């Protein structure tokens, strides 16, 4: 399917699709916020902080967790949004059949080799995840677990360097805030 819809209409269709697919899901933060807030945050970061206007990137950001976290299939995304958007979503989708440690290792290993569109989505995802952990982390996460997540995210982003200077600077700013909080709490950091 070649997508001939207006870019704004396409993005709104992706947002509505994601909202339907994630409707019963909640984030792991203290307030159990609606999951849809996360893909919307990615699209917002890309569009308003990164000035990314590519509808493929924005739609893939909105849809990035549908295959990984819902009953959505690749074929369904192809039918609804075309092969290009579905391909980007597949590039940023973890294989949930693998153990968590292996999925995290593969994200670092594969990050440098995904498409430019997928790199943008991955970069926005890491920015939003770090912001969420700073603002309202999962209740059961210790300071050490937060530090581990931040350091792992930095390893992924290191593989994305050269993709988008503005978004990389946003990531670096969020990471620096984490370092400030960690130092204030007396946690030692390992170099990125």
Tally of CB atoms within 10 A around 189:
13
Tally of CB atoms within 10 A around 107:
20
75 has catalytic annotation = no
95 has catalytic annotation = no
> Which member of 29, 49, 68, 76 is catalytic?
68
Identify any residues that bridge with 34 across adjacent strands, giving them in sequence order: 26
Q: Which long-range contacts (CB under 8 A, 24 or more apart) does 167-175 make?
A: 167/45, 167/46, 167/49, 167/50, 167/120, 167/123, 167/124, 167/127, 168/123, 170/45, 170/49, 170/50, 170/127, 171/123, 171/126, 171/127, 171/130, 174/127, 174/130, 174/131, 174/134, 175/130, 175/150
> Which member of 69, 94, 148, 172 is catalytic?
69
Residue 84, both tokens? 């290009």
Q: How far is CA 36 from the centre of its chain?
A: 12
Q: Which of the residues are catalytic?
A: 68-69
């Amino acid at each position: 399917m070649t997508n001939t819809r207006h870019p704004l209409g396409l993005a709104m269709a992706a947002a509505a699709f994601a909202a339907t697919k994630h409707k019963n899901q909640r984030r792991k933060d203290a307030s159990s916020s609606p999951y849809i807030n996360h893909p919307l945050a990615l699209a917002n970061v890309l569009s308003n902080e990164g000035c990314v206007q590519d509808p493929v990137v924005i739609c893939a950001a909105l849809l990035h967790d549908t295959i990984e976290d819902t009953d959505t299939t690749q074929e369904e995304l192809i039918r609804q949004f075309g092969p290009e958007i579905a391909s980007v979503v597949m590039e940023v989708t973890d294989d949930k059949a693998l153990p968590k440690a292996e999925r995290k290792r593969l994200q670092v290993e594969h990050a440098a080799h995904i498409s430019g569109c997928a790199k943008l989505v991955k970069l926005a995802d890491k920015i939003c995840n770090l912001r969420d952990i700073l603002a309202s982390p999962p209740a059961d996460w210790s300071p050490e677990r937060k530090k581990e997540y931040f350091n792992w995210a930095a390893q992924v982003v290191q593989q994305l360097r050269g993709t988008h200077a503005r978004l990389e600077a946003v990531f670096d700013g969020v990471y620096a805030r984490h370092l400030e909080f960690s130092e204030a709490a007396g946690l030692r950091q390992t170099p990125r």
